[in-house]
A and B are shown apart, each in its own frame.
Chain A
Amino acid sequence: MTDRLTSLHEAIEQVFPQVEGVLALKRGPAGIAAPYLFSPEHPEELELLVLWPKEPVPDTLKIIQRAHTDSKLAIVCRGCEERGIVEMFKHSQLKWDNITLIGLECTQEEAEFCRCAKPFTIHATNTVGDSIQGVPDPLTDKIAAMSLEEKRAFWMEEFEHCIKCYGCRNICPQCFCNICTLEDEKWVETGRLPLPNPSMYHMIRAMHMTAKCVACRECEETCPAGIPMAVQFRLIARDVQEMFFYETGAKLDQKPPQLLVLEEGEYQRTGLPH
């Protein structure tokens, strides 16, 4: 852990001459980690650099880029955060050219904590730490193997705990719409508990995460009720990969399926009649 911190320290100092700031996590006064823009003018602040727990840094990057359009920034990102940045770029939320990526490879422990299939960076030019293979996701596999009735009982039980705090939506790096369907009375019974069955809130969110979820698991982390909602997103992501050959955050030039017109022969893979 300390080794990675030292090498990250060095990596940041290396890019300092080329950028106006480096976005990374800083230990706050209460001991919690929070995104912070380290400035080359104050290299001594790097003493407060931390690695874990992870926080959604891409969102902060977006806020800074909106305020300072042409700023040259570097960002310390893990595999999931890098995928988040790629997807945000594809949906015109970020400028890719002005960003320098410093990849931070996850350790085996961290990958297992996140049940992460891709705990490594792809696009980052300079990386810190040794990249490891993805770990299996036992929870998703377990739920995928359930029967319809078991699945229904499982999710009804989980969604019963939901307090509709909208935390999962707020923390999601891919939820950036100005007008959110989840706040629309037409679709979601806003401000009413418990959630009815089937839960419109969670199903609409899962639907909107199609080909967008980067499997960072921030939603599960932030959920006060501990609902494993990322399982649904991951299951759908597997199908999207089969149907549309689309992998979130993998290729910069691959258009998301939402923006595609399907070619002849492509929609047959979705199992529709022709």
Chain B
Amino acid sequence: MYEPSIIGFLCNWCSYRGADTAGMARMKYPPNVKIIRVPCSGRISPELVLRTFREGADGVMVLGCHIGDCHYSTGNHRTAKRMPVLKKLLEYTGIDPERLVINWVSAAEGEKFSIVIKDFTEKIRALPPFVETMK
């Protein structure tokens, strides 16, 4: 069985703090996710996600604040608009859209954070390695 490598883009104000909360509560989650802290989930352009796949990631997570809670008021609205379209594009190009996940995790939701990561890692583990599918 292969260990999938997953990149998680976490918004500094909510999801990254959510990861902290999960850590402080000693919650367990798989170590496959490499976390990259970004100022806002709206920073994650489609190019960035595609490049992450190009570099060999098996899955990409974009976690941000809940709609309405954004530190920059409408930053995550950008995520909410562009990521569903990117998922569709992945599907139309023949890449499993399940490899990209978007979710909202607030600073208090440590448990949700660990569940989201656990579920996603399991889902990705069931898929073949991304690089293999592209040959």
Interface SS majority for chain B? helix
Query: Which residues of A does B touch, CB under 8 Å?
Result: 143-144, 148-156, 181, 186-187, 196-198, 200, 202-204, 206-207, 210, 232, 235-236, 239-240, 243-244, 257-258, 260-262, 267, 270-274
Report the minimal beta-carbon distance from B66 to chain A, rounded to whole angstroms.
8
Whether A207 contacts B93 by the Cβ 8 Å rule is: no
> Which residues from chain B contact A267 at a C-beta distance below 8 Å?
67, 77, 80-81
> Which residues from chain B contact A258 at a C-beta distance below 8 Å?
81
Question: Which of A143, A271, A274 contacts B84 (CB under 8 A)?
Answer: A271
Whether B92 contacts A200 by the Cβ 8 Å rule is: no
Whether A154 contacts B84 by the Cβ 8 Å rule is: no
Whether A235 contacts B81 by the Cβ 8 Å rule is: no
10 pairs, A vs B, C-beta closer than 8 Å: A144-B92, A148-B96, A197-B134, A200-B50, A204-B50, A207-B47, A210-B82, A270-B80, A270-B81, A271-B84
A155→B94 CA distance, assembly (Å): 8
Whether B67 contacts A274 by the Cβ 8 Å rule is: yes
Whether A187 contacts B51 by the Cβ 8 Å rule is: yes
Task: Assess A198 versus B95: contact at CB under 8 Å? Given A181-B47, A262-B81, A267-B80.
Answer: yes
A203→B82 CA distance, assembly (Å): 13
A234 closest partner in B (C-beta): B92
Report the minimal beta-carbon distance from A206 to chain B, rounded to whole angstroms.
6
Nearest 3 pairs of A and B residues by beta carbon: A152-B94, A151-B94, A270-B84
Report the minimal beta-carbon distance from A149 to chain B, rounded to whole angstroms.
7
Whether B95 contacts A207 by the Cβ 8 Å rule is: no
B116 closest partner in A (C-beta): A273
Report the minimal beta-carbon distance from A146 to chain B, rounded to whole angstroms.
8
A257→B46 CA distance, assembly (Å): 16
Question: Which of B50, B82, B89, B94 contacts A148 (CB under 8 A)?
Answer: B94
Is B32 located at the chain interface by the 8 A CB criterion? Answer: no
Q: Could you tell me which residues of chain B, from 38 to 69, have a CB within 8 Å of some CB in chain A?
A: 46-47, 50-51, 53-54, 66-67
Report the minimal beta-carbon distance from A222 to chain B, rounded to whole angstroms.
21
A206 closest partner in B (C-beta): B89
A189 closest partner in B (C-beta): B54
